[in-house]
Structure 1
């Protein structure tokens, strides 16, 4: 086989054996940290990620201030990737474009010229076609950068320097928000109204111990560039801001528009934040084509510069509220904007902050900027005062100064020795122009000297007092708030607050199912099926061996069915989900959680607002509203309380003013329906008294119209003279009139 030779590294070096697990952990951790700090999470102080900070700094270096001439975006991107941000040009351009989009940024930092994309989700034109310059907001972010307001660091290649953080006179973190996905963590901060944020900040300066709950009086919730209605409950908003984690339900803004002759359309004018309109229209069109919301007939996008989505109902009798609630459930007309305030505290440590702590980070940064700018100004004043003091000495000794300059070999050294000047003062004197030796110039210098001394005293007082520093911060915040006040077009709130209107479950179910007639067939052994259309003759239907027809009734695909079992529970079935009529159906038990020992007593169609008389085998019962019987789970709802000896037996519709009840002892009793208690659940009251046996049948009717029954031959009988059977609830009753069926049932 020959000898195994261990290969060596290049240039004959040995291979270094490393532990794979350790090496991977080390490298992955380095990658994760780089992603978290250098790419995905914003700094709590200026609310920016490095790419956005570098874009603004590059634009400043290119002198693209508000009001200046536009420059090609390719020029800006080139400077950013060449000097500060060695990443892909397209990713940098995408970040620049986003800073210019007024539907993505509540307060854009870049003013764009050309195609910068749109709310439909279309991309911007290539960077060689578009131009940009900074907005007033960006100017506020950079204000003080030349005054040592923040620290700088070397760029990636050491050839330039860049700011570590921006001075940020604008509360960008909360005002514009941020979205980002790092390794093992993410951030999602929605935009807010600047005036509200600044009011909260002023309150925090005056009340340093204030909590998030205290400042919610100023910040009720986000303010999205695309508007919309925030329907998140107030207590949930408060909890989200308290913990820094949560979300906000946002619905599209819409109104009903009459189109004449009783017809109408729903018009959507604002859509939720970060939802591309084209994708939304596509989804709505899909719902129409697939008939997932049968009450929606058509969708039209009539948008120009503003948004206008027209939703046409299938018929004018439909409620606009029902149509919109159906669409909120199935499309992005309602969206959830998450809140995860994960930010870099002091630019280094990732941390999830609540609203008050996040604002504090910005305020402490602003105070530091105020102090640093004051120190920078103080140094400049001291340097100028030094020069001015030298000038005054020169003016007082002007003849001697001229002589020294004319006659001495080293006038600078002689001036410093003769008048005890510093080098800076001597240089300044030697650089004086002859025309400046006029008497008026001396007066101007004395005036400037006095003014600077006064300013110096003010700055020293500021630097020596924390209270004065906070006062200065407050005055700067107040100046910014004036620009973005709620009454200005720029500062006006765009998103409103509302409550999510709840449409009844039955109505909502109707919206999602196309309305078609059905005939529901139930067998004696509890099998169910639905025949298409209203079938009058069900005599020809086949059943399994030993089974037969129990009941058949008309319904619609939008109907709900109520199923009463012998254990007193009522279950709910959707007619649209019943098995078709081609086979023999399926056992009702498959759709509900029914005890093995319990039997199915009745299946009826649910009618909103209607009532039922529910009766047990012992003749006790009560009236129950059908709305109270609807169950949202397979377990159903316990309605009649029964024990082992008593079971549920009758489920009678309440139609009229009188109850007719007949016992197994063939005694008939009539009494007013008002004597029966109305309950949601219970054992009920005694309806008829028996010595032995129990109830056989019952019905409700209108006394003035008479009592009707059908005999075994199918003939209908009506008796109007009923006084001798009329009594009170819990009486025993009397034998029924002639012709009453031997089965003791009202239907033969």
Structure 2
């Protein structure tokens, strides 16, 4: 076995060295060690919720008579008894455990009544054990009650000189009430504390209905109750922990916001999360302020006193928003912490992860065993006493003869034998008769004996009924639990919140209106509305944006930082960003290339943009493709996002998404093809479909022809079309008859070879301005009213001079007013591709627009009109 690691001896028999394979020996030795740590050190028993060291401390104090009705005793004496009799480990470990059992900020129901310095929530350590005193707390006596009535098994201590209980009777579910945490070998437990009254109510519910669900249990025990209070955010983590034994909780501090003078606010932290060191928390706050990560905070004070031992006063600067500051504090400090629940405990000496129902089930089994053992013990004692009383009554009935037998006997043994033979008594009865005092011979004593015997017989009958009837036994357990609840219950300290637990980056950002611009070349930026100072109509405006040649602003939105921007691509995908995720830039900056913000594939471009704050189920988006397919889908289906985008519409291999518009009930949809035809149909022609669908035919186009665009044809608007060679016209949408979807439509312009195919369309109003761009980058800007209004069959007029080698490729709208007459109630978040357009001329980057969004936003677009005059 040269290739194996061997511990061996050539004379193993003589030397006593055992031959063993090293790997096997290491495995077996480590398993023994790990099981010793798991069973004897780190994990609590599911029945009494105590680790061995906790159990030994409580029993040592009980055995020494250091009970609540006795004076406090030196902690060093208790520690000495524990390590000398039951727990041969370090004295500091035992003392630290006893200290924690006395801390009301560590234990929901303290089991030790400490006298002296037992530490603080600030992280101060307790005084040395020679200075402090302790005794059992009253609730601890409920864990030890009936210990002398043979209710639990006893084991020899480490040197077999004494006996110690293997588990305590535990008359309330201590594992849930006080929780437990510990790290064993390869496993750990972290059970949160709970409210005593709620836990007892849940146990009683299980006693009444063992098949109750976790949701039903949570109606009486809704969640953990930490001794330091705080707020548990969300209920999913609690439900997961109760159903599976594992879950993640988020605990926040409690606070008050106080408004002071000059508009300044102060945040007072009144409760902090469980097991958070208050001193370390304040040090962290100071570091964040020094590092200017919390610039809104001016100062932090320690406001703790005897009545409010936790208060931390955080003073804010003027105009700071308290909720935003709080969200930053939750993000960067331990004012919010995660708490992983692992409900691991020993069941019959084996570690198991337990659900709430399983924990209560095993506790109830333990109580049934305790009550059964106690009842059997009390039944035996009652029967023994009744047996003696029956013998005494026989002796009293024949007292003269009994006295004569005793007087005439030489010894006790002879008297006992003669009494047994004469009256048929047992040895126990004759012994009691011989020890009976003469005063028991009075008539009054006889009545007492008869009353005691009657009472004992009633108890014996009751004990037998308990042992025979499981329901009665459960009722006994329930009554005793309710008695404990009446004595020791306290109000809940931890508040439960239904709000989501996670802090989004959005929570750290103040909500304000932003101007978002997207250029034709694909540059996007945002800047506050307040950047554009308010002017009267007709003002000169200010420098808006500096763009590359032939680029112009295609979309402009005014939306809250917390609103969503939906970017729809030609490939039929939708990408979602929050407004605050769009980089902020100066007025003159071009912005950030959109390809740096969205994971667009090669050749994929943005064809439509929608701004919205919410996703109502009863509002819809209408999609249009180059091949004439349309689809209507509820906005609620787009209330999610993925890093690489979501499928917004299924497209054929050679098809592209060209337009996405918000549509309301009763509105008309207009589609125009490159063959010069237009079709109008009611939106009800298309039923609502799912997100991952292709849609239905909206317009039939022959081979080689494509749909140029899809718009919502609102009353009073006009259809503008332009050909490749720059010929265009506008026609009222009322001139187009209403058709069913799927047709080829009617001619909207007479096509000729000289004018080329139709290349772009827009639904416009007279107040609009148009930006028209050619393939070679030539851009003109013209007002809609300067273009002739002609009938459907007209050929159009020259709108743009186009070189022979050039063609018109697209057009966009530069809207004068974002809010048209009658639309004053529209929210700024509702602007989309229909209502936004080009704001900048390609040459001088000047912008014309008016935006009416309450006070500061009323005329922001006026400031885009022209470059500011030099002063």
TM-score by length of 2: 0.67
CA distance, structure 2, for counterparts of residue 470 and residue 575 of structure 1: 60
Is residue 264–residue 317 contact of structure 2 (8 Å, CA) maintained in 1? no
CA distance, structure 1, for counterparts of residue 795 and residue 219 of structure 2: 69
Secondary structure, counterpart of 2:20 in structure 1: coil
Secondary structure, counterpart of 1:111 in structure 2: strand
CA distance, structure 1, for counterparts of residue 524 and residue 127 of structure 2: 61
Is residue 668–residue 725 contact of structure 1 (8 Å, CA) maintained in 2? no
Is residue 522–residue 549 contact of structure 1 (8 Å, CA) maintained in 2? no
Partner of residue 644, structure 2: 635
Deviation at 1:162, TM superposition (A): 0.7
Secondary structure, counterpart of 2:249 in structure 1: strand
CA distance, structure 2, for counterparts of residue 311 and residue 378 of structure 1: 64
Partner of residue 152, structure 2: 150
**Of the candidates 289, 292, 310, which is equivalent to residue 307 of structure 1?**
310
| Worse-superposed segment, 349-358 or 283-292 | 283-292
Partner of residue 473, structure 2: 469
Superposed CA deviations along residues 59-79 of structure 1, whole A, max 9, x for unmatched, are 111212224211122111111
| Worse-superposed segment, 276-285 or 584-593 | 584-593
Give the direction of change, closer, same or farther, for the CA distance of 1:373–1:711 in structure 2 (3 Å limit): closer
Matches within 5 A, 1:48-127: 48-127=50-129
Partner of residue 603, structure 2: 597
Is residue 661–residue 695 contact of structure 1 (8 Å, CA) maintained in 2? no
Partner of residue 253, structure 1: 254
Give the direction of change, closer, same or farther, for the CA distance of 1:16–1:505 in structure 2 (3 Å limit): closer
Deviation at 1:591, TM superposition (A): 5.0
**Of the candidates 185, 196, 199, which is equivalent to residue 197 of structure 1?**
199
CA distance, structure 1, for counterparts of residue 229 and residue 124 of structure 2: 20
Is residue 295–residue 511 contact of structure 1 (8 Å, CA) maintained in 2? no
Is residue 152–residue 168 contact of structure 2 (8 Å, CA) maintained in 1? yes
Is residue 516–residue 524 contact of structure 2 (8 Å, CA) maintained in 1? no
Give the direction of change, closer, same or farther, for the CA distance of 1:313–1:688 in structure 2 (3 Å limit): farther
Partner of residue 741, structure 2: none
| Worse-superposed segment, 105-114 or 617-626 | 617-626
Partner of residue 223, structure 1: 225
CA distance, structure 2, for counterparts of residue 52 and residue 687 of structure 1: 91
Deviation at 1:170, TM superposition (A): 0.9
Is residue 256–residue 267 contact of structure 1 (8 Å, CA) maintained in 2? yes
Partner of residue 343, structure 1: 345
Q: Which runs of 5+ in 2 are unaligned?
A: 1-7, 533-541, 615-620, 662-708, 737-744, 815-840, 843-871
Superposed CA deviations along residues 274-330 of structure 1, whole A, max 9, x for unmatched, are 333333334444444444455555544423334323444555363x44443443344
Secondary structure, counterpart of 1:327 in structure 2: helix
CA distance, structure 1, for counterparts of residue 45 and residue 418 of structure 2: 53
Deviation at 1:608, TM superposition (A): 6.8
Partner of residue 496, structure 1: 495
Deviation at 1:23, TM superposition (A): 0.6
Matches within 5 A, 1:639-650: none
CA distance, structure 2, for counterparts of residue 466 and residue 507 of structure 1: 57
Give the direction of change, closer, same or farther, for the CA distance of 1:78–1:661 in structure 2 (3 Å limit): farther
Give the direction of change, closer, same or farther, for the CA distance of 1:256–1:635 in structure 2 (3 Å limit): same
Partner of residue 164, structure 1: 166
| Worse-superposed segment, 308-317 or 61-70 | 308-317
Partner of residue 463, structure 2: 459
Deviation at 1:501, TM superposition (A): 5.5
Is residue 267–residue 308 contact of structure 1 (8 Å, CA) maintained in 2? yes
Secondary structure, counterpart of 1:446 in structure 2: helix
CA distance, structure 2, for counterparts of residue 399 and residue 630 of structure 1: 100
Partner of residue 681, structure 1: none
Superposed CA deviations along residues 331-355 of structure 1, whole A, max 9, x for unmatched, are 333333333322222x323222222
TM-score by length of 1: 0.77
CA distance, structure 1, for counterparts of residue 519 and residue 639 of structure 2: 20
Give the direction of change, closer, same or farther, for the CA distance of 1:119–1:82 in structure 2 (3 Å limit): same
CA distance, structure 2, for counterparts of residue 406 and residue 110 of structure 1: 58
Is residue 233–residue 500 contact of structure 2 (8 Å, CA) maintained in 1? no
Partner of residue 832, structure 2: none
Is residue 528–residue 579 contact of structure 1 (8 Å, CA) maintained in 2? no
Partner of residue 139, structure 1: 141
Secondary structure, counterpart of 1:265 in structure 2: strand
Superposed CA deviations along residues 480-515 of structure 1, whole A, max 9, x for unmatched, are 23334xxxxx43222232222699967446369xx9
Is residue 569–residue 636 contact of structure 1 (8 Å, CA) maintained in 2? yes
Q: Which runs of 5+ in 1 are unaligned?
A: 1-5, 485-489, 542-546, 677-684
**2:114 corresponds to 1:128:** no
CA distance, structure 2, for counterparts of residue 628 and residue 464 of structure 1: 61
| Worse-superposed segment, 238-247 or 353-362 | 238-247
Give the direction of change, closer, same or farther, for the CA distance of 1:661–1:182 in structure 2 (3 Å limit): farther
Secondary structure, counterpart of 2:345 in structure 1: strand
Deviation at 1:18, TM superposition (A): 1.0
Partner of residue 276, structure 2: 275
**Of the candidates 475, 478, 484, which is equivalent to residue 480 of structure 1?**
484
CA distance, structure 2, for counterparts of residue 33 and residue 686 of structure 1: 85
Partner of residue 544, structure 1: none
CA distance, structure 1, for counterparts of residue 575 and residue 629 of structure 2: 21
Partner of residue 686, structure 2: none
Deviation at 1:51, TM superposition (A): 1.2
CA distance, structure 1, for counterparts of residue 731 and residue 264 of structure 2: 48
Secondary structure, counterpart of 1:55 in structure 2: helix
Superposed CA deviations along residues 597-631 of structure 1, whole A, max 9, x for unmatched, are 346899x998979xx99999999999999999999
How many pairs does the alignment contain? 710
| Worse-superposed segment, 272-281 or 640-649 | 640-649
**2:175 corresponds to 1:177:** no
Partner of residue 680, structure 1: none
Give the direction of change, closer, same or farther, for the CA distance of 1:456–1:639 in structure 2 (3 Å limit): closer
Matches within 5 A, 1:348-747: 348-399=349-400, 408-420=409-421, 421-484=425-488, 490-500=489-499, 507-508=506-507, 510=509, 589=595, 592-598=598-604, 634-636=643-645, 663=722, 664-667=724-727, 691=751, 692-693=756-757, 695=759, 707=769, 724-725=788-789, 734-735=796-797, 747=841
**2:335 corresponds to 1:333:** yes
CA distance, structure 1, for counterparts of residue 298 and residue 794 of structure 2: 59
Deviation at 1:374, TM superposition (A): 1.7
Is residue 561–residue 575 contact of structure 1 (8 Å, CA) maintained in 2? no
CA distance, structure 2, for counterparts of residue 100 and residue 198 of structure 1: 22
Secondary structure, counterpart of 1:90 in structure 2: helix
Is residue 392–residue 432 contact of structure 2 (8 Å, CA) maintained in 1? yes
Secondary structure, counterpart of 2:88 in structure 1: coil
Deviation at 1:198, TM superposition (A): 2.2
Secondary structure, counterpart of 2:134 in structure 1: strand
Is residue 570–residue 637 contact of structure 1 (8 Å, CA) maintained in 2? yes
Is residue 395–residue 437 contact of structure 1 (8 Å, CA) maintained in 2? yes
Give the direction of change, closer, same or farther, for the CA distance of 1:352–1:635 in structure 2 (3 Å limit): closer
Superposed CA deviations along residues 688-740 of structure 1, whole A, max 9, x for unmatched, are 87944555797978x5x67488999x99998696594499xx99895478999
CA distance, structure 2, for counterparts of residue 187 and residue 401 of structure 1: 67
CA RMSD of aligned residues (A): 5.4
Is residue 521–residue 530 contact of structure 1 (8 Å, CA) maintained in 2? no
Deviation at 1:359, TM superposition (A): 1.1
Secondary structure, counterpart of 1:268 in structure 2: strand
Secondary structure, counterpart of 2:68 in structure 1: coil
Deviation at 1:431, TM superposition (A): 3.7
Secondary structure, counterpart of 1:27 in structure 2: helix
Deviation at 1:167, TM superposition (A): 0.8
Superposed CA deviations along residues 427-485 of structure 1, whole A, max 9, x for unmatched, are 4444444555544333333332333233223323333333332232232223223334x
Partner of residue 40, structure 1: 42
